[in-house]
Amino acid sequence: MSLIRRYPLIAFFVLAYALSWWPSILYALDLLPQPIVGFGPFLAALVVLAITSGKTGIVGLLRRMVRWRVAPVWYAVALLLPIAITLGATVLNVLLGAQAPSSAELGGWTSLFSTFFILLLIPGLGGAWEEPGWRGYALPRLQVGRSALFASLFLWVGVAVWHLPLMIVGEIPWSEIVFILGFVIIFNWVFNNANGSVLILMLMHAMNNTFSGSFIGPMFSGADAVNQAWLYAALWCVVAIVVVVVYGPQHLSRRHEKQEEPVQPEVATASPRVV
């Protein structure tokens, strides 16, 4: 516990991996369908906050998760940008020779609503419950004394490593490493502009997994699926570059300061001598 108090960020990442990767053993024995638990980063944040900040820290994170008073434009960005990027990649893929999705496949759009709410509300079924850990806990601390862009690059490495088990077993393509780079920068941009709302990012993550992962992605197979994944990753990075150029690397915002939440390590004080 003293190590966690002294090195809370390092402890968070170590715990995020440990609390997420433990199903890999059961997955190897064909006892579980996934080698990773999606809410591991959230659990890691709760553990570290309980040890370093107590009830105050945990309540602060939970408040970020229900912070809904955000400008409407950021709700629009959260829900529509993942759809726009996915559609852009799909159109480019078809123009480059991929077989276009059939009308029957596209007609399944009515299932998007139920899928979205399932991925948003049930921990472990989608990536939404990663956000309280990555953005709710880690990012505000990574941004202390660093530019928002540098903090994003640091977080990109941490998130990419977290996804390695899924890449190794073939659940997601290796292009995810590139995709996560653009994804992290854009999500951090939304976070800094949306008053540090984790709720907005949970909505955005659930929408991305719903539309790209569950709806459009399965419509392609073989080489077409590989091309779709790379085009999709590239477009996220293109949008991320535009965000950095327009909003600046320091805060990823022109109107707001980057979200910061410094952690003061606990310092042991010597007890007074009794004579």
pLDDT by residue for the chain (275 residues), tens digit each?
A: 888 899 999 999 999 999 999 999 899 888 888 899 999 999 999 999 999 999 999 999 999 999 999 999 999 999 999 999 999 999 999 999 999 998 888 888 888 999 999 999 998 788 899 999 999 999 999 999 999 999 999 999 999 999 999 999 999 999 999 999 999 999 999 999 999 999 999 999 999 999 999 999 999 999 999 999 999 999 999 999 999 999 999 999 988 889 998 755 444 434 333 33
Q: What is the pLDDT of residue 33?
A: 85
Task: Report phi then psi at 116, rounded to 5.
Answer: -60, -50
3-state helix, strand and coil shares in percent for the chain, rounded to the nearest 5: 70, 0, 30
b/e code 81-96 from CB counts within 10 Å (16+ = b): bbbebbebbbebbeee
Quickly tell me which residue has 């979200």 as its tokens. 259
The structure's pTM equals: 0.91
Q: Please report, for the chain, the start and end positions of each structural domain, with discontinuous segments joined by +.
A: 68-247
Question: What's the Cα-to-Cα distance from 263 to each of 3, 25, 40, 229, 260, rounded to whole Å?
Answer: 14, 34, 21, 38, 10
Q: What is the pLDDT of residue 274?
A: 39
Residue by residue, DSSP assigns 159-213 as: HHHHTHHHHHTTSS-TTHHHHHHHHHHHHHHHHHHTTT-HHHHHHHHHHHIIIII
Q: Cα separation of 157 and 261, whole Å?
A: 20
Q: Is the dihedral of CA 32, 173, 83, 215 positive or negative?
A: negative
